[in-house]
Amino acid sequence: MKKFLMKHPLLRTLIELRGNPRACVYTEPMWGLSMNLCLPYASVYMLALGMNDVQVGIVSSVYMFSQMIFAFISGAIIDKLGRRKSTAIFDFLAWSLPCLIWASSQGFWFFVVAALLNGTMKITTVSWDCLLVEDAPKDKITHIYSWVIIAGNLSALFAPISSVLVAKLTLAPAIRILYINAFVIMTAKILILYKFSTETGTGKIRREASRNKSWGEMLSGYKSALQKIITSRGTIFAIIISILVEIVTMIGTTFWQIIASRRIGIPDTLLPVFPMIRSIMAIILFFTVISKIRQSRLKWPLYGGFISSLIGCVLLILITDTDFLGYVILFVSLIFEALGGAVLNTLRESLVAIHVDPSERSVIMALLQTTVMLVSVPFGYIAGLLSDISKILPFVLSIVLLLLGILATALFYRRSCVNYVSES
């Protein structure tokens, strides 16, 4: 049995993980037991509390604006506090506290406050990422990110809990309970990760170097990091891909439930079933397709991810009813969406991790995240306006963005014969 497990590259990576990568990956399934039980209902929960599509879009944009601000200052904060401590403090502010606000929410302004706090997650996006990869074997980065996304998709196993609660208690009371559950489990996750992780080697160096520096001096250090970004084609390409994937993911996360519930007519009690199917398919695809992706050759996987996501969007907007054919098309749409999303989210992280200068990872990633958020902020509001006109229009916007991703990939690789590493 052990011999069989060691043969599969993904399973071998999981077994061989040690130190911080192990602590980060092994605690990640707790995300599925907490936040991912709530997310399938997040948008319709807002609607159930009297909000409209535009207000949902505004909350999404506030969230992205908050992310942009905290992404910018994240590099300085993380170098000052260290990767490990930053992750613990800001995970609590970004997830545990907002869960209590969501659980007791009475309307629009509650969600705005929660979105502002939730935006601090961009600090932990950088600090947790540094904690994950700075001491990790560089040739295993793509597989490590695959396991992170697989862990998130394990929430599929618990999705029926949401359905049962909604069926028994109705939507709003059930989601309030799920948010309280998320508060408890996310807080436990934060404490467990803190206990079993250590500060990274690079983190210790950066923390010592910044010990006697003022915040102004810390932020002024962004200039050299910006120069490194500008002079690296690989990093610029990684930023472009991250922006496009971020916006498409945001639109899908926010407006999939709305088109499924309000246009297609899927009952609220069944809404978690479809993300469950998508997650299960994504896990299967990781072990059968994505594990075969070579870290040195990402051109065709990128094409495949964009095209697969595009097909998923096209099929979704063609569905108008919950008859047999409608469910068949929806199922096929989920297959393409699962493949596209799994590939693109894995590769966007891998591209960043591979191209970023390790000596200034926190600062460069802070600027990268800021750029991604700065461009992405208006799209929550834009998608909300589009959804108010027609539920299909946010996904038409996604199709346009996915086509831009294909174009960006073609332009980046047009002079590359083998791989992107030589292009950086």
Structure tokens at 47: 């609607």
Report how far residue 351's alpha carbon sits from residue 366's, in angstroms, rounded to the nearest whole number: 15
Spatial neighbors of 4 by CB under 8 A, at least 6 apart, are none
Question: In this structure, are residues 218 and 80 in contact, taking their beta carbons and an 8 Å threshold?
Answer: yes
Report how far residue 7's alpha carbon sits from residue 381's, in angstroms, rounded to the nearest whole number: 47
Question: In this structure, are residues 130 and 368 in contact, taking their beta carbons and an 8 Å threshold?
Answer: no
Query: Residue 189 — very low, low, confident or very high, per pLDDT cuts 50/70/90?
Result: very high
Nearest CA to 35 among 157, 185, 214, 216? 185
Question: In this structure, are residues 289 and 301 in contact, taking their beta carbons and an 8 Å threshold?
Answer: no
pLDDT, tens digit (0-9, with 9 covering 90-100), for 86-143: 999 999 999 999 999 999 998 899 999 999 999 999 899 889 988 988 887 777 777 8
Query: Residue 424 — very low, low, confident or very high, per pLDDT cuts 50/70/90?
Result: very low
Report, as an integer, the average pLDDT of 295-320.
88
Collapsing DSSP states into helix, strand and coil, what is residue 212?
coil
Report how far residue 219's alpha carbon sits from residue 150's, in angstroms, rounded to the nearest whole number: 35
The pLDDT assigned to 353 comes to 72
Most confident of 49-63, 216-230, 278-292: 49-63
Question: Given a cut of 50, is residue 169 above it in pLDDT?
Answer: yes
Q: Output the average pLDDT for the chain.
A: 84
Helix axes 159-169, 171-196, angle to 10 degrees: 150
Report how far residue 211's alpha carbon sits from residue 217's, in angstroms, rounded to the nearest whole number: 11
Q: What is the percent of the chain where pLDDT is above 90?
A: 29
Find where tokens 């992310």 sit: 67
pLDDT, tens digit (0-9, with 9 covering 90-100), for 311-366: 999 999 998 877 888 889 989 999 999 889 888 988 887 787 777 777 677 778 77
Q: Who has greater pLDDT, 64 or 404?
A: 404
Question: Given a cut of 60, is residue 421 above it in pLDDT?
Answer: no
For 49-72, what is the HEC assignment?
Answer: CCCCHHHHHHHHHHHHHHHHHHHH
The pLDDT assigned to 5 comes to 53
Report how far residue 259's alpha carbon sits from residue 272's, in angstroms, rounded to the nearest whole number: 14
Identify the burial level of 368 via C-beta atoms within 10 angstroms of its C-beta, where 0-12 means exposed, 13-18 middle and 19 or more buried.
buried
CATH (one of 3.40.605.10, 1.20.1250.20, 2.40.10.10, 3.30.1330.30) for 18-209+222-414: 1.20.1250.20
- 295 to 30, 299, 362, 421: CA distances (angstroms): 28, 10, 22, 10
The pLDDT assigned to 419 comes to 47
Collapsing DSSP states into helix, strand and coil, what is residue 320?
coil
The pLDDT assigned to 6 comes to 59
pTM of the model: 0.70
Domain boundaries, the chain: 18-209+222-414
Question: In this structure, are residues 225 and 363 in contact, taking their beta carbons and an 8 Å threshold?
Answer: yes
Most confident of 106-110, 187-191, 199-203, 235-239: 187-191
Q: How many other β-carbons are positioned within 10 Å of the β-carbon of residue 292?
A: 10
Question: In this structure, are residues 105 and 56 in contact, taking their beta carbons and an 8 Å threshold?
Answer: no
The pLDDT assigned to 232 comes to 80
Question: Given a cut of 50, is residue 274 above it in pLDDT?
Answer: yes
Question: Given a cut of 70, is residue 420 above it in pLDDT?
Answer: no
> What is the DSSP secondary structure assignment for residue 31, as one 8-state letter?
H
Question: Given a cut of 80, is residue 371 above it in pLDDT?
Answer: yes
pLDDT, tens digit (0-9, with 9 covering 90-100), for 210-251: 888 887 777 776 777 788 888 888 888 988 998 999 899 989
pLDDT, tens digit (0-9, with 9 covering 90-100), for 1-45: 555 555 677 778 778 788 888 999 889 888 778 887 887 788 889
